[in-house]
Amino acid sequence: MKRSSIGFVVFLVVAVGVIYGLSRLTSRVNQSESLPPPVHEESTEVQKTSTEGQGLMPTPAGNIKGSPEAKVKIVAVLPPSECQAPTLRILDEIAKAEPKRVRVEIYGMGSPKGQQVMQQYGVTCASVFINGKTEFTLTSDGQTRRVICQKSPGMSYQSTDLIEIVHMELQRLYGKGFDEKTLKQLREKGKQIVGGGHGAAGMESAKAKVIVEVLSPIQQGTLYPLFSQTVKMLEQLKEKYGDELSVSVYPIVTAEGQKRMKELKLSGPAVIINGKTVHEIPGPNKTKRKIVTAIGMGEGLFSPKDIAEIVSTYMKEAAKK
């Protein structure tokens, strides 16, 4: 009797084990059937790049615009990264502005053609070659600087520098750069691209009682949403105050933004109001509230509401004078 009981117990344990194993196997099969098919790296690159840079992001086959007879030739070898989107959108604008005199070719770094170009020039990082060069000297507002069109924009070059370089190359090779209207449009478009769509057009005023300058971070930065909301709020204030309020937006990755940061001795994005980044406005119970509108000065982040209160305070002070 004892032996038969032991045998039954053993049989029961084995049966439970078999049932459990079959259950696990069925579960795994069901999970594998419900999972999405694996994505090939190349298709990921195409998917990522197809929605950025307005159709000019690098694909395995490359993107080419402009006449093969053009004397100004741009060859960009770039990764499918969001940080390259401003550069690629600006290249797209340049290609549309001068299709006969400028040829733009863009290749993914991982594509066969991209690898061939990188090997040809002996580079290992993202690069934009303009007539075979990546290093140029630019002069603006009496200042001369050296730019290297490699790696991510904002490091050794700004995306908007490409407009100035192509303008310079057109002058050198054709005797005439972009026409005045086109150059102005490209520069303004460049500001809007690197600033995430916010430009200074129509927001500046010579009669202003309050002057606001926004040194905005790059669109891919973690601080960008704060500055984007601030600019939208300033646009609303502009409608309210009209010519009494002047607003200028300078993305910090542009030459103008860098120049203004240097003049104000700032180390990061900021909102400058009447030339200041430290403000005292009335607080509750006749107290004073201190608000710092520059990043990296040891204070907490300001809010769009803070900016509105500062502008309102300065407007009231100006009305008393």
Please give the Cα distance from 126 to 78 (Å, whole number): 5
- Mean pLDDT by runs of 10 across the 321 residues of the chain is 49 48 44 35 35 53 91 94 86 96 94 93 95 92 85 84 96 96 92 65 70 84 87 90 90 79 89 95 89 83 94 93 78
Please give the Cα distance from 32 to 73 (Å, whole number): 49
Q: What is the CATH number of domain 210-320?
A: 3.40.30.10
The pLDDT of residue 59 is 64
**Assigned token pair, 310:** 């500062």
The pLDDT of residue 188 is 87
What is the C-alpha radius of gyration for the chain, rounded to an integer number of angstroms?
29
DSSP output for 11-58: HHHHHHHHHHHHHHHHHHHHHHHHSPPPPPHHHHHHHHHHTSGGGTS-
What residue spans define the domains of the chain?
44-194, 210-320
Residue 147 has a CB neighbour count (10 Å cut-off) of 18
Residue type (1 letter), 276:
K
The pLDDT of residue 7 is 52
DSSP output for 109-130: TTSHHHHHHHHHHT--S-EEEE
The pLDDT of residue 41 is 35
Residues 183-222 as b/e (b if ≥16 CB within 10 A, e otherwise) read beebbebbbbbbbbebbbeebbbeebbbbbbbbbbbbebe
Superfamily of the domain at 44-194: Glutaredoxin (3.40.30.10)
The pLDDT of residue 203 is 60
**Are the folds of 44-194 and 210-320 the same?**
yes
Burial class (CB in 10 A: 0-12, 13-18, 19+), 23: exposed
The pLDDT of residue 292 is 94
The answer to whether the beta carbons of residues 74 and 91 sit under 8 Å apart is: yes
Which CB contacts under 8 angstroms, 24+ apart, belong to 231-236? 231/198, 232/304, 233/304, 233/305, 233/307, 233/308, 234/203, 234/307, 234/311, 235/203
Whether the full predicted model's pTM is greater than 0.75, yes or no, is no
The pLDDT of residue 6 is 52
Helices marked H in 175-244 — which ranges? 180-194, 224-241
∠ CA 82-267-201, nearest 5°, is 65
